[in-house]
Structure 1
Amino acid sequence: MKKILTIIAVIASLYSNGQTKFDNQKIAILKYTKDFGWPFSENDKPATLSNDELTSIDSILIRCVNEYNPKSEKQYNEVLQVCKQCDYKLEDFVIELKNYKRQYVPIINADGEKEVWVNCFCKANHNWKKEIIIHVGGQSCYFNVLINLTRASYDSFHINDEGDVQH
């Protein structure tokens, strides 16, 4: 019996070697098609993601949010100074990544660089793992960012109902 379990474990590890692992309850990787339109260009090509790239995406996304949140918390405090009776909550202004589902659309851009459009949302419909979620309004409940894995950078960080923050 031990031999059978050992063989199964070896086969399972060989099978999973090189397979991308991610939390499929929080993250969906969607294959780019020309039908997607914005924010993609007609020269973009579909790409895949490795485990290392998924780790990089997470690190860059955390950096992006960590740069955004202090500015947003400051804005929250300024709003409360002006409108003391307002019923705003800090969580309406800042992003806590654990509360978001994410869609990753990896591409190779016209310069041959690997990029991933990351679409994050706190409310999702039943098709979020198959269809891009586009929502008007919702403020920090919906945001997206373009991550360039080749350069380990991000650009076009966009919170719904706010202007783009360029980095």
Structure 2
Amino acid sequence: MSDDIDIDTDDLERRMKGAMDALRHEFASLRTGRASASMIDPITVDAYGSPTPINQVGTVNVPEPRMVTINVWDKALVGKVEKAIRESGLGINPQLNGTIIMLPIPELNEERRKELTKVAAGYAEHARVAVRNVRRDGMDQIKKAKGKGMSEDDQKFWESSVQDLTDKAIAEVDKALEAKQAEIMQV
């Protein structure tokens, strides 16, 4: 292999891992019938003129397996936080107790479980697309390097390296999806 032409596979691998990390974060926000503080992470509330994550306007706790509580620090924001949760699509009905908002997590019915597995599959597909975009960037780097004099053997080597990284990342996405779907369908 030529010393002056090199493809940064570490950067490609880091970007593919970033797609996987984003997928894990999205999976954590999916409600599976058990309470989790991360399930409200994607919800923002209009606080002081800008969209703010709920965990920055109050303390989020999980006191029991089927209950999330949010202790809102500013009384003026309690109504806004409650409204944001109602409109979030989580399917949770918040209950007020002063500045504390309680979110009882109901048992999931079979239909809702199937919907959630489809949502999880959608998240996984977004992650696969992100991984493929990184792969395309890597292949573009290889084409540019070939134009600068990379040998055909080196080109094949780098293409197979990038493809191996892609295959591993896609397999990891599929494995995470399978585990999440099994968790959602577990009664």
Q: Which TM-score tier does this pair reach, normalised by the shorter chain?
A: 0.3 to 0.5
Q: Which has the higher strand share?
A: 1
| Bigger helix fraction | 2
The TM-score, its normalising length taken from structure 2, stands at 0.30
Higher relative CO (Cα under 8 Å, sequence separation at least 6) belongs to: 2
TM-score (norm 1): 0.33
